[in-house]
Amino acid sequence: DAGVIQSPRHEVTEMGQEVTLRCKPISGHNSLFWYRQTMMRGLELLIYFNNNVPIDDSGMPEDRFSAKMPNASFSTLKIQPSEPRDSAVYFCASSSGGTGTYEQYFGPGTRLTVT
């Protein structure tokens, strides 16, 4: 298996622009998680889906952030409009068996820089 695939790996954009991050989970996994990692705040869970349904989005910073999972093999995280404080590494992770499954498989991340 190719593992969790994220694109792009690096994104540089100007403040106010829309940014879309993409994730393809491991085939057969039915839970998907979006995380944000910064030096100051560590790893933060933004939102997670189970069977394509958003279960908990309490970690989403504000209305500028939105996430979708239209099918079992694809998810997007969108920031509109982007701000410099959104600069971080964004990880997607997937797991099998629902949120009670203990092992999550992380993708390589997308490094976002907002200038």
Partner 1 sequence: QQQVKQSPQSLIVQKGGISIINCAYENTAFDYFPWYQQFPGKGPALLIAIRPDVSEKKEGRFTISFNKSAKQFSLHIMDSQPGDSATYFCAALKRDDKIIFGKGTRLHILP
* Torsion angle of the four alpha carbons 36, 37, 43, 49, in this order, in degrees rounded to the nearest 10: 20
- The minimum distance between CB 42 and partner 1, in angstroms, equals 4
Q: Token digits for 4? A: 């969790």
- The minimum distance between CB 102 and partner 1, in angstroms, equals 5
Hey, what amino acid is at 55? I
Site residues for partner 1 per CB under 8 A: 4, 33, 42-43, 45, 48, 56, 91, 93, 98-100, 102-109
**Given the complex with partner 1, which of 44 and 74 has the nearer CB atom?**
44
- The minimum distance between CB 79 and partner 1, in angstroms, equals 20
20's CB contacts (< 8 A; 6+ apart) are 76, 77, 78
